[in-house]
Amino acid sequence: MKKLLGLLGLVSFNFLFTSWVALARESLLVVFPPTNYQTSTEKIFFIGTAPPAGQVLINGKVIKRSQSGHFSPSFPLQLGENIFKVRYQNQEREIKINRVSTQPELPQGLGFAKNSLTPAVDITRLPGELICFSAVAPPQATVWVNLVNQNLVNQNIALLPQPLFAQLPPNSSILTGFNQPNRSSLSKYQGCTTVTNAADLGKPEFNLQLNDQRITQTGLGKIEILSPAQLAVAEITSESGVTRTGPGTDYSRLTPLPKGTMTTVTGKEGEWLRLDYGAWINSKETKIIAGAVAPQTVIRSVGYRQLNTATEMIFPLETAVPVTVEQGNNFFTLTLYNTTAQTDTIRLDDNPLISRLDWQQVSPTQVKYTFNLKKLQQWGYKLRYDNTTLVLTLRHPPHFPQIKRLPLSGIKIVLDPGHGGKESGSRRPTGYSAKDVNLLVSKLLRDELAKRGAKVVMTREDDQDVSLVQRQEIINQEEPAIALSIHYNFLPDNSNTANTRGLVSFWYHPQAHSPTVFLHNYLVNKLPQPSFGVFWNNLALTRPSAAPSVLLEFRFMKNANELEEIVNSQQQQKIAKILADGVTEWFKMVQ
């Protein structure tokens, strides 16, 4: 029955692709960019197709195309409006692209650059902490900030021109190779101060003087200095509180906090709270507990429960405190904050996973537990609070039955076909979407893995909306031996279409590094296909900690020359078979 369904899916997909190609042969088709497109990059690529006979011109320049007539050239952009005319025979498409500047712009008269005054949101700090201000203003100007505290004492802070002012590119630029900062020609002024007592400082007044002219502009963010004796206590209300290194989604993720964690708030920036151990979290994932005092706990005995497929380590605490996790070769560490050890006894019998548990009071308020593991490969973990007791679940290696005919017997695998429903993903020159080929290849892979005895769970079986959170929940609930997310790639606007070819593989947790590198190399060597690289990346489908989670990007949706391989049914089947072989070989290696 599965074979019949797979065949029907292949037939319907190929019919759909044939229809797209037929449509493309009737007319010039430009899939990307849409008209009135806006970008900040220095160049843009086009994706489209036209019948192979004849020429396609963009602004009068003949462009290279694949044998089937697809094209994906790149063109430079100037700041402001750019008009491109794409022509094939008597058909023409006009596409307008607006390149916007990422640099602050000074006004015509004397003034600060728009949106350059910081802090731009309300902030709170502890007494004695640095409070810093910045502004972009004309060169040779005198800039200062005036603060007035509750006692009506004025404080003037000079903002001095900084020798270097560079803007960092986005994280995605590492995929294109254009990840160097851009030096700005504008003058950035910065200065800091401290306030020793609790106070409401209101909004700062920014002053700018040049020659005989002077202006004053009120900042957007209020400043408050907290009283250390009256700090608020927050409780994590989401199932897994997302903590970061700074106040915003641009900052890196840290170990999520289990629901129920209690922590003191030591600062605020807009809607982001700084927690007592240094991490930041969005206030929407917390609630303030009225009257609560700063959470502190001692820890005494540590116990465990050995289950069939995992070991649960039990840490009884007086209150649910913040935690962080670190993984490495042969070890797993758990750090408890706001915790003092009174530990004399730890029970851990001979265990299939753990050889020894060590602990250390690394600072007056931090206790670190190090699990020395028997094997290099780790299989996943979970953290939760049962009231105030922390439970760490460490998964055991899967059971490998010795059945040559079914080498993956007893192995559960989650397959995640990327995108689906309204989320079409990237698009090919002919117009069809990544979601379709993701699903087709995932179904072919499912059948190949099932032939080898694996139990396969799909995050979607058809063209339906499945959110990233739902996909993560499936992995966490199913607890597979491995999770594979299948995608076809699409890079930022300024990537080079001629060089963006091949397989890209992503991992996040160290437990996923081994399968990611192994499967990447296996596919590159056996298909064969070019390698675009292996990347550590903070992606929704690499983040689940309950299992080694790998995301594979086959080929590039923007590369016209790779289209034929992507839609080739024999190549799709080959990918599925070789990937299933690679999964099998990796499990043999880690037994």
pLDDT digits (tens, 9 = 90+) for 98-120: 999 888 889 988 999 999 999 99
Q: Are 503 and 568 in contact (CB under 8 A)?
A: no
pLDDT over 90 at 562, yes or no? no
pLDDT, residue 229, reads: 93
**Highest mean pLDDT range out of 91-105, 170-184, 234-248?**
234-248
Task: Find out whether the peptide bond into 33 is cis, omega within 30 degrees of 0.
Answer: yes
pLDDT over 70 at 188, yes or no? yes
pLDDT, residue 2, reads: 39
**Which of 161-170, 298-307, 358-367, 535-544 shows the lowest mean pLDDT across its residues?**
161-170
**Which of 8-22, 115-129, 392-406 shows the lowest mean pLDDT across its residues?**
8-22
Q: What percent of the chain has pLDDT over 90?
A: 71
Mean pLDDT in residue range 566-586 = 90
Alpha helices in 73-226 (DSSP H): none
Mean pLDDT in residue range 165-188 = 75
pLDDT, residue 23, reads: 45
What b-and-e string marks burial along 435-461, b requiring 16 or more CB atoms within 10 Å of the CB? bbbbbbbbbbbbbbbbebbbbbbbbbe
User: Higher confidence at residue 133 or residue 169?
Assistant: 133
pLDDT, residue 102, reads: 81
pLDDT in tens, 430-439: 555 778 889 9
Q: How many CB atoms sit inside 10 A of residue 141's CB?
A: 20
> CA distances (Å), 89 to each of 72, 255, 278, 401, 482, in order?
18, 57, 62, 63, 51
Strands 310-316 and 303-306: antiparallel
pLDDT, residue 4, reads: 37
- Residue 25 to residue 255: CA distance in whole angstroms: 52
pLDDT in tens, 502-515: 899 999 999 999 99
Q: Are 580 and 514 in contact (CB under 8 A)?
A: no
Calculate Rg over the CA atoms of the chain: 29
The model's confidence at residue 524, banded by pLDDT at 50, 70 and 90, is very high
- Residue 245 to residue 251: CA distance in whole angstroms: 6
Q: What percent of the chain has pLDDT over 70?
A: 88
The model's confidence at residue 153, banded by pLDDT at 50, 70 and 90, is low
Calculate ∠ Cα 437-443-445, nearest 5°: 100
SS (H, E, C) 300-356: CCEEEEECCCEEEEEEECCCCCCEEEEEECCEEEEEEECEEECCCCECCCCCCCEEE
- Residue 433 to residue 425: CA distance in whole angstroms: 6
Mean pLDDT in residue range 306-320 = 96
pLDDT over 90 at 542, yes or no? yes
pLDDT, residue 7, reads: 39
- Give me 493's structure tokens: 């606007």
- Residue 143 to residue 162: CA distance in whole angstroms: 12
Calculate ∠ Cα 539-541-542, nearest 5°: 65
Q: Are 555 and 562 in contact (CB under 8 A)?
A: yes
- Amino acid, res. 316: P
Q: Are 207 and 146 in contact (CB under 8 A)?
A: yes
Q: Is 395 helix (H, G, I), strand (E, B) or coil?
A: strand
- Residue 195 to residue 200: CA distance in whole angstroms: 11
Mean pLDDT in residue range 570-578 = 92
**Which of 164-173, 261-270, 534-543 shows the lowest mean pLDDT across its residues?**
164-173
pLDDT, residue 20, reads: 44
Q: Are 266 and 335 in contact (CB under 8 A)?
A: no
Mean pLDDT in residue range 394-422 = 90
Mean pLDDT in residue range 69-95 = 93
pLDDT, residue 170, reads: 77
Please, is 40 exposed, middle or buried when counting C-beta atoms within 10 Å of its C-beta (0-12, 13-18, 19+)? middle
Closest C-alpha to 102, from 543, 494, 580 = 494
pLDDT in tens, 37-76: 999 888 898 888 899 999 999 999 999 988 888 888 889 9
Q: Are 257 and 335 in contact (CB under 8 A)?
A: no
User: Higher confidence at residue 558 or residue 528?
Assistant: 528
Distance, first Cα to last Cα, the chain: 32
H-run or E-run covering 267 = strand 262-269
pLDDT, residue 496, reads: 58
Chain centroid to CA 106: 33
pLDDT, residue 318, reads: 98
User: Higher confidence at residue 190 or residue 172?
Assistant: 190
User: Higher confidence at residue 164 or residue 366?
Assistant: 366
Please, is 194 exposed, middle or buried when counting C-beta atoms within 10 Å of its C-beta (0-12, 13-18, 19+)? exposed
pLDDT, residue 237, reads: 98
Residue with tokens 């839609």: 567
The residues near 61 (Cβ < 8 Å, ≥ 6 apart) are none
User: Higher confidence at residue 114 or residue 423?
Assistant: 114
Q: Are 554 and 575 in contact (CB under 8 A)?
A: yes
pLDDT, residue 175, reads: 72
User: Higher confidence at residue 13 or residue 464?
Assistant: 464
- Amino acid, res. 2: K
Report the length, in residues, of the chain: 591
Q: What mean pLDDT value characterizes the chain?
A: 89
Q: Are 324 and 254 in contact (CB under 8 A)?
A: yes
- Give me 544's structure tokens: 């689940």
Closest C-alpha to 481, from 420, 407, 395 = 395
Mean pLDDT in residue range 391-395 = 98
